[in-house]
Amino acid sequence: MKSKFLWMALIAFVFFSCHQSQSTHSEEAERDHEHEAAEEHEHEKVQYTVYTAKFELFAEADAMVLGESANVLAHFTFLENFKPLESGKVTAKLIVNGKTVSQTLNEPLRKGIYSFTLDPTVSGEGKLYFEIETGGDRFEVIVPDVDVFASDEELEEHHDHGDEPSAVNATVFTKEQSWKIDFATALPQEQAFGPVIKTVAKIESAPGEEEIIAAKAAGLVLFSNSNLVEGKTVSNGEKLFTISSSEMAENNFSVQLVEAKSNYETNKANFERKSELVKDRLVSEQELLNAKNAYETSKAVYENLSKNFNESGQMVKSKMNGFVKQIFVGNGQYVAAGQPLVSITQNNKLLLTAQVQQKYLPLLPAVNTANISTMHDDLTFTLDELNGKILSFGKSAPDDSYLFPVSIEIANHAGFAPGTFVEIFLKTLTNSKAITVPNGALLEEQGIYYVFVQQTPEMFEKREVKIGGTDGLQTEVISGLNADERIVTHGAMQVKLAKATGTLDAHAGHVH
């Protein structure tokens, strides 16, 4: 009896174990099937890039398949400053064969980022529209040639890896990273670019912008204001100095003024008296004429002295609005008549005198404009920005130099200081076309130059280029870059630093 129970227990255990094993294998098979099905529906992202006059659109979207929801993660960037669209209502519309599906979002997921979910209702080729309402304005961004597939099988048949951007020697730099820095991209310029003469120019005040005031008589210089120093702003007619001769035995202003006043009053009275006597013919016309001449001469002498002198001495006044450039005398110093006292300058217009080597002499007649770079802050201005013009170039070299002068007049809009030097790029007329990039787009490593070429707005290829001349703002690219390839123009160094952290998978998509 006992043996019978043991056999029954053994049979029950074996049966239960087999059932559990079959159940486990069934669950594992079901999970594998679900995982395979999920993998079948998980497609690689599709990337769209569109530029309008106002916006850059960069979108990562699920492949559009009929009957499946597709997420569209859209990044909107203002082209004027490459900063994100921080607020505004955006509507995404997918139009295929006249059928429209849309979604409106009143605010971004995060600054610049809108996440849409669209459910295509028909298959075929269509367009994706983004209607943006921000700041009271309306804008539209259109993505052409958006494919909606009838099934996953049709999607796989049309999938072409050759159209995907290459990740070779590339760096992922996300929109969120670029929005945080001074960043910009642009197409290279294809423009006329001739030989450029690079040299140095000295800044001086333009003729008519500076005046030197001299003493009109000998005497001791007394400053009218203790604050009269170089750089001080002065106005037209403002009193600057007094030249005193009150303690001098000769050329004493006060004595001369008293004498001139006495002569003037005497001659005036004599002329008025003879003017009455001539009516009764008690004096001749000749006597009256002599009296008139004496009167007018003494009057001119007295008015001249009284205008420029007083009992203290000669009054030296500014003859223009400007500032004190240089003071040539000290307080209490004796000066002779005609000796320079001070120079006043307006500094509105400046004269730049550049010195050019003899080898560039054949190019000088073709020079038509210039770019000017400051040495203290490395800013560069065009001649148009400074309302400047090229005045002339030397036809012969000075006796003490083998360099030829080039004179340029500019308006002082950038705070240039006379007496300092600037770097100047003299540009020549040419019919030759060249591809040029902003100097800020170029990076250099051990004498090799390169740029970052945009593959997508979030992936950039480091590309070596051969360069030619530069005009201080743009540099000619001889080889390595096409005119239709967008490059990083601001923020290239930050992209380089990002590359140092390692290249990411270009198809990994965003994890927001």
Q: What is the pLDDT of residues 210-221, one digit of tens each?
A: 888 888 777 888
3-state secondary structure 82-127: CEECCCCEEEEEEEECCEEEEEEECCCCECCEEEEEECCCCCEEEE
CA distance 263 to 257: 10
Instruction: Assign 254 a pLDDT band (cuts: 50, 70, 90).
Output: low
Rg, the chain, Cα only: 43
Residue range 411-439: mean pLDDT, rounded:
89
Q: What is the pLDDT of residues 140-164, one digit of tens each?
A: 999 999 999 999 888 888 765 444 5
CA distances to 280, 283, 291, 296 from 276, in Å = 7, 9, 12, 18
CA distance 506 to 167: 6
Q: What is the pLDDT of residues 49-97, one digit of tens each?
A: 999 999 999 999 999 999 899 999 999 999 999 999 999 999 999 999 9
pLDDT for res 408 = 94
**pTM > 0.85: yes or no:** no
**pLDDT beyond 80 at 305:** no
In the chain, the percentage of residues whose pLDDT exceeds 70 is: 83
CA distance 30 to 32: 5
Least confident span in 232-241, 313-322, 420-429, 469-478: 313-322
3-state secondary structure of 451: strand
The dihedral through the CA atoms of 285, 291, 292, 293 has a sign that is positive
Of these ranges, 28-42, 284-298, 390-404, 462-476, the one predicted with the greatest mean pLDDT is 462-476
**pLDDT beyond 60 at 1:** no
CB atoms within 10 A of CB 387: 12
Which token pair is 269?
Answer: 């009275």
Between CA 472 and CA 173, with CA 467 as vertex, the angle to 5 degrees is: 85
**pLDDT beyond 70 at 43:** no
Q: Which helix (H) or strand (E) holds 407?
A: strand 404-411
- 221: CB partners within 8 A, 6+ apart: 215, 241, 242, 243, 329, 330, 331, 332, 333, 334, 335, 341
Helix 253-277 to helix 285-308 angle (10° resolution) is: 150
CA distance 60 to 174: 12
Of these ranges, 153-167, 180-194, 402-416, the one predicted with the greatest mean pLDDT is 180-194
CB atoms within 10 A of CB 436: 25
In the chain, the percentage of residues whose pLDDT exceeds 90 is: 48
Calculate the dihedral angle through the C-alpha atoms of 264, 265, 266, 269, rounding to the nearest 10 degrees: 120
Q: With 0-12 CB in 10 A as exposed, 13-18 as middle and 19+ as buried, what is 305?
A: buried
Instruction: Assign 367 a pLDDT band (cuts: 50, 70, 90).
Output: very high
Tokens 């106002």: give the residue: 54
**pLDDT beyond 70 at 246:** no
Higher pLDDT, 287 or 194: 194
Question: What are residue 476's DSSP bridge partners?
Answer: 436
